[in-house]
Structure 1
Amino acid sequence: MSKHLFFLPAILSASMALADDTTLNDRLQAAHEAGKLDGLHAVLVRRDGETLAELYFDGADERWGQPLGLRQHGPDTLHDLRSVSKSVTGLLYGIALDKGLVAGPDAPLLAQFPDYPDLAGSARNRITIGDALAMQMGTEWDETLPYSDPRNSEIAMELAPDRYRYVLEQPIIADPGSNWSYSGGATALIGALIARGAGMPLDRFAKLNLFDPLGIDGFEWVAGADGVPSAASGLRLTARDLARIGEMIAAGGTHAGKRIVSRDWLARMATPRAAPAPLRYGYHWWLSPVGDPPNWLAGFGNGGQRMSISPRLGLVVVVYAGRYNDPQAWQLPVAVINDHIAPALGLR
């Protein structure tokens, strides 16, 4: 995970130049035709409400691990976000917090799940909601194996009869709040807090409080075998609609004059809590290694999915790809941004 945006600090901290959108589109199209961007499905670049580049490419795709065959991707095509879903879930928690529907980050996590009294213990009782948001729960969790492997902790959670018990009962291996460990289980717990607090499934809460206000009328949030939407990886959106979320964040939490999420939550969300080298991590968002506030925040997803946001520059970049479970897939969005978008925007 640490290599996903290694070069972006230099790109997104540079001065912004005027863009030639035709040149940027042509640059990306030519690179794809030359075989330099294999697996790329979509690129969308927006700055201050203006589209600087938007391209779609045919390619084999999946729906949450299920093959879809060759797809003709376009503006209306839903696409897996995979772990970019985690970042959207972190945003939804902030919306729920603004509405008084969930306890705050300092609240004990296990106390929000009274249906598991047998799990109470001194170390687990010290885990806070904030520790889950920052992925510093201190429990054993391993997502280094491919997501096609049932030994991967997220997949094991999906196969468990009770996903929340599975996450909460994992052995304590570090003091809560001390060690960062990438965990879809932490996201599942945050999704449960939202659903329980709102009295509705996570996807319904997202529709009413994020998607509808942004004018997003087509989405899918894939559920596991238990019917629970996968907060960690199940969201599917068009590139344009994901960019709408990014633009709302870049605009300080408002859209069309309406506040969607508080500035306070956006600031807390983008406050560094951990430092998985070479980046930093906030509340379910990856952060640039430099800047206070960070120069950029981003969501990363298996297969090359990416949304990067630079509020200071008003810049949002969305990349979709189909290189699922490829350990080198992170190189694709980095190449798209570093080799093509950055030079075209004068960000070198």
Structure 2
Amino acid sequence: MKHISPGEAGFAPDLEERLAARFGELHGLVVFKDGALLFERYGEGEDHSWNVSLGVVAFGPDTLHDIRSVTKSVVGLLYGIALADGLVPDPEQPLLAHFPEYSDLAADPRRAALKVEHALTMTLGLEWREDLPYTTPENSEIAMELAPDRHRFVLERPIVEEPGRRWHYCGGASALLARLIVKGSGLPLPEFARRRLFEPLGIGAFEWLAGDDGVHSAASGLRLAPRDLARIGQAVLDDGAGVVPASWLGRALRPKVEVDEGTAYGYQWWLGTGSPPFVAGNGNGGQRLVVRRDLGLVVVTTAGGYDSPEVWETTQAVLDGLLAARVTS
């Protein structure tokens, strides 16, 4: 991979020292500038694969790491690839029409009103709680993992509001999208990802965790090396790099629903709506993929602060430090 110096990239010559000072308890930090490697640093600390401790790990460029809910954003890209291949329904199509095995649910006109886009934008209007620790079955994602049929579990949640009205964080929405990809392609989710996204981007090693039912988790199951996650961000920056359809990115990265002031949601991606805007995938514990199109930057952090809000202060400090080190004329 091509490397670029801070000076060549338009940053202060002491960029490495500045970022190292903010690294804290992060496990990894990778920064691409215009497709070249600008900065890379790894640490050491206890890590987990989902809730299973891996002990103390010395991280490096090839060490796989849980990316948790950044997985959702990857699934969003896979859906666009599958759509271009004619394998999955357009976002405007009825969702339950593509789950004929749940015809009893589709008999409810309120559920029949659900569209694929409501899953893509997490606006299903169904009862769903992920504001609880991911160690308790009271958390809806964990309850989904424990359910005998995860997709029915999602689709039969109580209706609490009209679909499309309001964003509500929902890993179950990502599970439904992945099921459509698997149905349409006839391939397990990791195999479809390997053939149509990872290998074309030069990504070799990865893992995709599955539940006890053998279904791979579209909400949080992907494990990647930080450099490879940055390659995915670079593809987003490069209008899909000929792998993800640019037309899909034009739809997926357009704000669809407001999350809070300055933040919106597209098709499984977080979108900063301020000036300048940004594109991001975020995952529990400090896993972040941030794309700044205006600066040609891709930033990836990995960390082990699962269920801890404090880790976001560190990731934000790193991002702030990077931007503060830009040399402006």
Q: TM-score range by the shorter chain?
A: over 0.9
| 1:65-85 Cα distance to aligned partner (Å, 9 max, x none) | 211110000000000000000
Deviation, 1:311, is 2.1
Native 8 Å contact 1:157 1:166 kept in 2: yes
Partner-residue secondary structure (3-state), 2:40: strand
Partner of 1:18: 10
- Tell me how far apart the structure 2 counterparts of residues 30 and 96 of structure 1 sit (CA, whole Å): 42
Answer yes or no: is 1:225 the counterpart of 2:212.
yes
Give runs of aligned pairs for residues 261-276 of structure 1, distance below 5 A.
261-276=244-259
Query: What is the aligned partner in structure 2 of residue 287 from structure 1?
Result: 271
Q: Decide whether the 8 Å contact of 1:148 with 1:325 is kept in 2.
A: no
Aligned match of 2:280? 298
Determine if contact 1:251/1:314 at 8 Å carries over to the other structure.
no
Q: For 1:200 and 1:243, how far apart are their aligned partners in 2? A: 25
Say which SS state the counterpart of residue 165 (structure 2) adopts. Answer: coil
Equivalent pairs, count:
319
1:27 and 2:14 correspond: no
3-state SS in 2 of match to 1:59? strand
Q: How does 1:125-204 map to 2 (within 5 A)?
A: 125-204=112-191
Match of 2:94 among 108, 112, 129: 108
Kept after mapping to 2: 8 A contact 1:246/1:316: yes
- Asked if 1 retains the 8 angstrom alpha-carbon contact of 2:22 and 2:314, the reply is no
**Per-residue Cα deviation, 1:39-60 (whole angstroms, up to 9, x for no partner):** 3111111011221110000111
Equivalent in the alignment of 2:260: 277
| Letter in structure 2 aligned against 1:129 | V
Output the amino acid matched with 2:322. Answer: I
**In structure 2, what is the equivalent of residue 341 of structure 1?**
322
Q: Which residue of 2 aligns with 1:55?
A: 41
SS in 1 for 2:27: strand
Cα deviation, residue 346, structure 1? 4.0
Deviation at 1:345, TM superposition (A): 2.3
Distance 1:45 1:331 in 2: 18
Query: What is the letter of the counterpart of residue 43 of structure 1?
Result: L
Q: Secondary structure at the match of 1:44?
A: strand
Q: Provide the rounded CA distance (Å) in 2 between the counterparts of 1:72 and 1:337.
A: 23
TM-score, normalization by structure 2: 0.94
Q: 1:346 to 1:125 in 2, by over 3 A?
A: farther
Q: Secondary structure at the match of 1:25?
A: helix
SS of the aligned residue for 1:115 comes to helix
State the AA in 1 paired with 2:128.
Answer: W
Q: Tell me how large the CA RMSD over aligned residues is.
A: 1.5
Cα distance between partner residues in 2 of 1:220 and 1:250:
24
Q: Does structure 2 conserve the Cα–Cα contact (< 8 Å) formed by 1:19 and 1:52? A: no
Q: CA deviation at 1:17?
A: 7.1
Q: Residue type matched to 1:107 in 2?
A: Q
* In structure 2, C-alpha distance between the alignment counterparts of 1:331 and 1:123, rounded to whole Å: 41
* C-alpha contact 2:22 2:318 (8 A) present in aligned 1: no
SS in 1 for 2:38: strand
CA distance in 2, matches of 1:200, 1:98: 16
Native 8 Å contact 2:27 2:45 kept in 1: yes
Distance in 2 between residues matched to 1:61 and 1:205, nearest whole Å:
28
Partner of 1:330: 312
SS of structure 2 residue aligned to 1:40: coil
Q: Could you tell me how far 1:119 is from its partner in structure 2? A: 0.9
CA contact (8 A) 1:142 1:153 kept: yes
Aligned structure 1 segments of 4 or more residues deviating by more than 6 angstroms: none
Describe the shift of the 1:30–1:312 C-alpha distance in structure 2 as closer, same or farther (beyond 3 A): closer
Mapped partners of 1:174, 1:313: distance in 2: 39
State TM-score, norm by structure 1: 0.89
271-280 vs 326-335, greater mean Cα deviation: 326-335
Letter in 2 for 1:30: A
Q: In structure 1, what residue type is equivalent to 2:14?
A: T
Decide which moves more: 325-334 or 130-139. Answer: 325-334
